[in-house]
Amino acid sequence: MKKTHSLIAACAGLVIALGAGLSMANFRSAEATSARATFARPTAVAEAPKPPGVDLTLFSALADPAQLKKLSGDVNACHEALSAASVMFKEVPAMKQGQCGYAEALEISSSLAQWEPNPGAPKDLPMTCGLAAKLHLWERHVVIPAAEKYLGSPVTEIKAFGTFQCRTVANTDKLSEHAYAKAIDVAGFVLADGRKISVLGDYYAKGPEGDFLREIRQRACDLFDVTLGPDYNEAHANHFHLDVGGQHACR
């Protein structure tokens, strides 16, 4: 939406600038000056300054706290960053369920790999844009390169147990970041060669599958506010919990 707006603004600016150039030409020819010189200008006007966005395709975005903060704090900038990285997404209507809910969430429809619900999980994966952008950074700069390094095959699907769920953190009365669509539970991965890698089955495996899972969990800590996996407790034996809720943990 914002992109369309900037395009319209840029076009309008060009039309105004060209109009101004033409008026100036008429004025000068009326004065019997050389009309040729007045047409030499429009190129500078066509290049309207563009505010710097967050480029998710750059590895450097992974380690830039100011850029990462911008993704969570400015939904328009975040949408632009996803679009510029060729992530297709659809915005989803606001949802309120007691104390739980979200106002501006989206679902990823297409990315480098497909984000899919694990068999039996809720089919929708609504998430805040801040979460989606960090998931894309993780997918692009951590998960896919690690799969190629350890397993020799790209990741084609990332399976999740879910994102939004109106519930508290286990054994507490504090609402989970899942209650705000700021968290995802990643269950496993499917590779281009058909192999399936699951957190439950492969995290502690001695070999490339385990190396892959342990590395991407560790490096998730550079991105997400909270990263929890099988090392944390039994409740996380089958998934990585990744959230952007503002607390900090890497377990």
* C-beta closer to Zn ion: residue 85 or 230: 230
Q: Enumerate residues 6+ apart whose C-beta is below 8 A from 94.
A: 101, 102, 103, 104, 105
* C-beta closer to Zn ion: residue 136 or 241: 241
* C-beta closer to Zn ion: residue 79 or 239: 239
Which range of residues in 15-23, 117-125, 215-223, 238-246 is near Zn ion by CB under 5 A?
Answer: 238-246
Which range of residues in 5-13, 98-106, 131-139, 176-184 is near Zn ion by CB under 5 A?
Answer: 176-184
Which range of residues in 119-127, 147-155, 201-209, 241-249 is near Zn ion by CB under 5 A?
Answer: 241-249
185 is a site residue for Zn ion (CB under 5 A): yes
- State the Cα angle at 158 between 104 and 171, rounded to 5°: 65
Q: Enumerate residues 6+ apart whose C-beta is below 8 A from 46.
A: 10, 14, 17
CB-CB neighbours of 208 under 10 Å? 16
Backbone angles phi, psi at 193, to 5 degrees: -85, 5
225 is a site residue for Zn ion (CB under 5 A): no
* C-beta closer to Zn ion: residue 44 or 170: 170
Which tokens sit at 148?
């190629």
Size of the site for Zn ion (CB under 5 A): 3
DSSP strands (E only) in 51-94: 88-92
* C-beta closer to Zn ion: residue 77 or 220: 220
Which range of residues in 46-54, 83-91, 179-187, 218-226 is near Zn ion by CB under 5 A?
Answer: 179-187
Least distance CB 224 / Zn ion (angstroms): 11
Which residue minimizes CB distance to Zn ion?
A: 241
Q: Is residue 126 within 8 Å of 95, Cβ to Cβ?
A: yes
Least distance CB 210 / Zn ion (angstroms): 21
Q: Which of 141, 241, 244, 245 binds Zn ion (CB under 5 A)?
A: 241
For residue 177, give the nearest of 85, 75, 249 by alpha carbon: 249
Strand order in the sheet with 127-128: 88-92, 105-110, 127-128
Residues that bind Zn ion (CB under 5 A): 183, 185, 241
